[in-house]
Structure 1
């Protein structure tokens, strides 16, 4: 056989031996590729310029980019502020104005950028301008501009409704108050309020004049910072958890601990000496023996039962032969062999041999121990007063009587 054939056979054998592992690796690789292919490659956040979902703003962002507007997405306040500082001609779109504090609005307004806010609340408007205030809600629908703003005239009828705003002191309201533009209180920029932000989304931007209104509003400058505020990105100082606890908590814990200690001292009792109490019922010894036997039988504890039989036999043999109650098995075997004439090794095997393997062997052991006891009693000749009580499960025979 050639070397090439041997190598091919070895490789085939290796593949056969590790076929299971190879199939597992291939399955994992296929799963990873499938998950990668099925995972969407765009952002799923609402109003995100990278989201192709119906609630995203990818369509507007792509059209703005084709028109020469550089769209920069910001997920944090520092990123948004940095984007404003790096550009001179910039528009800032804030999708969640209610998440920003008054201090942050002051810094954004001082940057000189034009601000576009989606559904701002009364607190945000109060921090930025005195010319626009929230008034209420309107039914969503397509409305005419009703104003002379260039963006509104270019768009014509567009989607409006939702929160409405009133304009004063140089501000202009369009689309029934859903679109308002006015000056900022601080800074040279302008403020545009969009009460119906769905006109920027992929779902509605292509209908009516929504696209024109969105492009005029967001594409007025060369750079657009698209800011998606994060609820976790806050300028509030970190507060420890202990500061959130009510002031009465720790005094209450101290009072409860003191009350618990007093209760322990009041109800606690020192354990005294053991005392005997009468049993509620009397159980005959024979029933106890039979119960133990049934338990041994159900547990298949032939060895444990044999140990109990041998210990009882040893206790009686020590008494009959006059040995010390603590005498060992070899001494008992020698004494029993001298009394009965049996070989000492055989007696020792009977008293401390291997455990029986099954119930028939256990029965034979019990019979042999019984016979050994009869021989010892017959050889030692004890009187009835000296003889200990016989086993409750054994019937007294005539030859057992001295």
Structure 2
């Protein structure tokens, strides 16, 4: 009766403990899942959106997402055109077409189609051919000075912005008889043709996400692109009629399959936690590896040679030779060098000066002297052993 009672007590005492541990482990797993989910969601929501220079959707330093967002907040309708067809579909007489020079704006036919569009035009950082087609009344006259530039003109957009950090940029002037307004030393020019304002700015740096906060950069950028009720932003990021490059593995996954992929990843993580084994403490174990003495000597010699440690190699050779000869000479390990030289000279029949130079001389100057030293030590050790 007593044994049964004890067994029952043990079972009763142990069972709740196991259940408590399982319950605690379950909450730990749930907490880990919640932490991982929150971390993934935060990373997804706060991750920067990379893109090319002056891409209206890019949050990188060279992108234009900040400027486009500010203009939208002011009530301007912004059309982010990805191709010339989208620009032509959205262009009306009351729109402003912003043409940003990129690596993919090189086709003359597309430039002529842009030049035929109605409405005002803002050309940003154009190359020579783009400027000749979209702003033919403007030509390059030189460069501006580096630093903060004052407007020095009566253009309302520029005078309201004040000093702007353009840096070193091209300067423009009139190419014909049309009146051209020059601001910031020619970095910003404007003229009117057929009732349309055509504005050219030689650099896009002050419009980028990283430069908007400098002096009047944001004010000038917003004044230039926010003058009309509708603005069309055209900064082509790929050649017209071609794909944007090889698709990544995530582009090949259908939208409805994304959740399945993430669920599978979560299952793999949970399975790893479940099947993982606790790693115990390190155990010292003698490995059955035998290294030959010749390999050790060869490896050590290569290390000395790679670091050009001829002094340490010579010291090792001399020390080993003295340790082997000392018992034969009847000398202790701390014997005086003079006594060692005298004993070796008597055994070998060599002058003491030569023996002293070999056993206690300066380090070898090069590899040849080191090899000669090894031979001399071997010769002395052999003569001492045979005497």
Give me the TM-score of the superposition, normalised by structure 1. 0.46
Q: Which has the larger radius of gyration?
A: 1
